[in-house]
Amino acid sequence: MKKIHILGIIVIAIAIGVIFISLKNTSTYADFTEAIANPDQEFHVVGKLNKNQPQIYDPKVNADEFRFTMIDNKGVEKQVVLHKSKPQDFEKSEQIVLIGKMQGDNFHANEILMKCPSKYNDGKPQIN
C-alpha cells in the first residue's frame, strides 16, 4: 500500500471515532423519573413552572443560583437548581426545557430554554 492510502485509512478511522464519541455524549429528552434512575447522565427535561411554589433568587448571596419548582410532562414535581441568574419574564413561560442532571432530590440545570406566549393569536395582536 502507498503511504497516502494508509494516511487516508487513519483519517477515516479517526473521523468515525469522533462521530461515535459525540453521539455517546448527546443528551436525550426525558422526565424526572428517568433522570432519577440515571443520575450520571445529562437530560433535557420538559415541563411547566409550578407557580404555587416559591422561587428563590438572591443575587446578593449567589447571582448564579436560582431555585424553583417544576412539574414535568408526566406530573412529577421536583425542586430545580438553575446555575445561572433568573431569566427575564420567567413567570410568563408556557413551557420550560431544562438541561442538566439529578443530584440527590434536586435537578441541577446548567441551561434553560423557555417557550413564552406568542404576541399574536391567529394573526391578530393580543391586547394586554
Give the model confidence (pLDDT) of 110-127 as tens digits: 999 998 776 655 555 555
Domains in the chain, CATH or no CATH each: 28-117 (2.40.50.140)
Its pTM stands at 0.70
DSSP line for the chain? --HHHHHHHHHHHHHHHHHHHHHHT--EEE-HHHHHH-TTS-EEEEEEE-TTS--B--TTT-TT-EEEEEEETTS-EEEEEESSPPPTTGGG-SEEEEEEEEETTEEEEEEEEEEPPPSEETTEEPP-
Q: What percent of the chain has pLDDT over 70?
A: 87
